[in-house]
Structure 1
C-alpha cells in the first residue's frame, strides 16, 4: 500500500484542456504499465475533499497500477464552491455545452488524445457531490461513457438551487418516477446504447438519504428497459447486491445498500485485495467499492 506521502506524489497536473468554462482543476495518473487503447476512469471527489485525498482513501491509483488503468481527477476550486463541492444543482453547471460538465468533457477529450485511451472504455465515478455530478455527466454526455458509478449521490435533475439540493439530500420531494428517465433523455440527443450504472449508498447515511439511491436506479431502469424487481440478488463480501439484466442477459444496473454505513465511500483497506485507507468519508466496512466497481466495468 502506498503511504500518504507516496499518494501525494502520484497525481500530476493536467495543464491544458479546452476552454474550461467551469474553471476546474485537473490531475491525472497514468501507470507505468498503461497500454495503448487502455481504459480511463474519471473520479470525482466529494465535498471538503481534494483529488489527492480521494485517491489516497479510495485506492484508485493502486488499482490502476494493478490493472493498467488511466485516471483523471477533476477537482473543484474553492472560488467556485467554498466546500469544494461540484455544483450539481446550479443551472449553469447541469447542462450539456457549458459550465463544469463541459470542463470535465474537455479534460476527458484531452486525456484520451494525449494517452491513446480507447474511447469506448471511458468510465466515471464520484462520491456525494461528486456522485451527483457523475449523474450530471452520465445524463449530459452519455455517449462519452461506457459506465458510471454513483456513491452516496443523487439522481440527475433532482434540484435547481441550493435550497432544493438540501431538501433532496434529506430524501424529500424530487422528480416523480414518470419524470426521472425523461430528465436524462432530454439532457442530450443520444439514443443509446446507454452507460451501465452502479449505485452505492450507506444504509445509515444521514447526509444524503439512501432514498436517493433507489431514485437513481429508477431513473435508469426505464432507459435500460429493466423495470421491476431485480433480476437477481446475491451476496458479495457479505453485502447484498441487486442486479438488473437486460434482454441479452447483460448486467446494466447494480445497487449496493451497505447496512449500518454512514456517508462516504465503502472501502476494504486490509488483506491481499485491500485498497485505500480509512479517513473521513472513507469508511472501512469490509468491501472495496473501488475494486467491485472496476470489476463491474470489466477492468479487473
Structure 2
C-alpha cells in the first residue's frame, strides 16, 4: 500500500490571494523537487470532504513528490454550504468575474506568481461538487487551463438552482447538446485553444447518474470539433477508455466509465504504483484516476 504518512499535514495554508468574493479557503503543496516553470494542478474536493482528506485519498501529493507538481486545494467553508459542497449551481458562483470562480482564479494567479509556475501548464480536477465546479472553471476561465478532469461531476450550467441540481444529479432533464455547447462558448470571450477534457464516472453511481459524464463529453465535443463516436476505444487495466482526437491527431477528450463503481474517485492504493488511501468516496477499484489523469496531461 502506498505510504500516506503525514499526508494530513502536508498541505499549507495559502494566506493571501486577490479578492475572495466566494469566501473560500486555500491550501497548497509544493514538493521539494518542484522546479521553476513546473506545472500546477488545482484539486477540488467533493461534498462532506476537506482538502486534506481528498489529498490523502487521491494521492495527489504523493504523485507531486514523484513528478515535481505544485498543487492548489481550494476549500469550501461550511458557512457557504452546510455539506462543504462547491456551489456549482448558484448563479453567483457560475459566472466569470464573480463568486467562487473568481476566488479560485485569484488563488491560481497567486500561486503561479509565487512559485514561478508555467502558465501554460495549469490543470484542474475535482470530484462530485468539486467536479461540477471544475466544469465551471473550465468554462468561465478556459484560457487559464491546459486541461481539466471531471470525476463524478456534471456539465457546466446544467442546473441554475438547488432544485434543478438535485434533478440533474439523477440524470433527468437538462439542456440540449447545442445549449450545453453554447453555455461554454458564452461563459467567456475565449476562442481557443481549449483545455483538454478527461471524464471519469462510476457505472453504478446512484448519487450523480453517469448520464452526466456523457453530457460533459457532449458539452465539449463541438468546442473541440470532435462530434460523433470516439476516435477509438481501448482497454486500460481492464476498463474501457474512449478517446476523441482532433484533426491533428491530438487526444482532446477521454472518458472512463468504471463499471460497477459507485459515487467517488477511482483509486488504486495497492501495489508498487499505488497512490492514495481508501475512504468513503475514495474507491479502491484497481485503477488510479490520479495517475492516469496526470499521464493524459503529460505530467508523468
Structure 1 length normalisation: TM-score? 0.99
Instruction: Give CA-to-partner distance per residue, 1:229-260, whole Å, 9 cap, x none.
Output: 00000000110000000000000000000000
3-state SS, counterpart of residue 273 of structure 1: coil
How far residue 90 of structure 1 moved from its aligned partner, in angstroms, is 0.3
Whose relative contact order is higher, 1 or 2, with alpha carbons under 8 Å and at least 6 apart?
Answer: 2
1:278 equivalenced with 2:273 (yes/no) = no
Q: In 1, Cα distance between the equivalents of 2:285 and 2:8?
A: 24
Q: In 1, Cα distance between the equivalents of 2:8 and 2:271?
A: 23
Alignment map for 1:100-139 (pairs within 5 Å):
100-139=100-139
3-state SS, counterpart of residue 33 of structure 1: coil
Q: In 2, Cα distance between the equivalents of 1:2 and 1:252?
A: 33
3-state SS, counterpart of residue 207 of structure 2: coil
Q: In 2, Cα distance between the equivalents of 1:81 and 1:2?
A: 32
3-state SS, counterpart of residue 26 of structure 2: strand
Structure 2 length normalisation: TM-score? 0.99
3-state SS, counterpart of residue 63 of structure 1: helix
Instruction: Name the residue aligned to 1:155.
Output: 155
1:2 equivalenced with 2:21 (yes/no) = no
3-state SS, counterpart of residue 28 of structure 2: strand
1:53 equivalenced with 2:58 (yes/no) = no
Q: In 1, Cα distance between the equivalents of 2:193 and 2:246?
A: 12
Instruction: Name the residue aligned to 1:229.
Output: 229
Q: In 2, Cα distance between the equivalents of 1:191 and 1:122?
A: 18
Instruction: Name the residue aligned to 2:259.
Output: 259
3-state SS, counterpart of residue 199 of structure 1: strand
3-state SS, counterpart of residue 160 of structure 1: coil
1:96 equivalenced with 2:72 (yes/no) = no
Q: In 2, Cα distance between the equivalents of 1:8 and 1:271?
A: 21
Instruction: Name the residue aligned to 1:24.
Output: 24
Count of residues in Structure 1 that have an aligned counterpart in Structure 2: 299
Q: In 1, Cα distance between the equivalents of 2:89 and 2:171?
A: 15
1:11 equivalenced with 2:49 (yes/no) = no
1:84 equivalenced with 2:84 (yes/no) = yes
Q: In 2, Cα distance between the equivalents of 1:55 and 1:168?
A: 27
Instruction: Give CA-to-partner distance per residue, 1:103-140, whole Å, 9 cap, x none.
Output: 00000000000000000000000000000000000000
Q: In 2, Cα distance between the equivalents of 1:251 and 1:270?
A: 29
How far residue 9 of structure 1 moved from its aligned partner, in angstroms, is 1.4
Structure 2 residues not aligned, in runs of 5+: none
Moved over 2 A (4+): 1-4
How far residue 190 of structure 1 moved from its aligned partner, in angstroms, is 0.2
1:212 equivalenced with 2:212 (yes/no) = yes
Aligned residues of 2:201 and 2:258 also touching (Cα < 8 A): yes
Q: In 2, Cα distance between the equivalents of 1:224 and 1:43?
A: 24
Q: In 2, Cα distance between the equivalents of 1:177 and 1:113?
A: 37
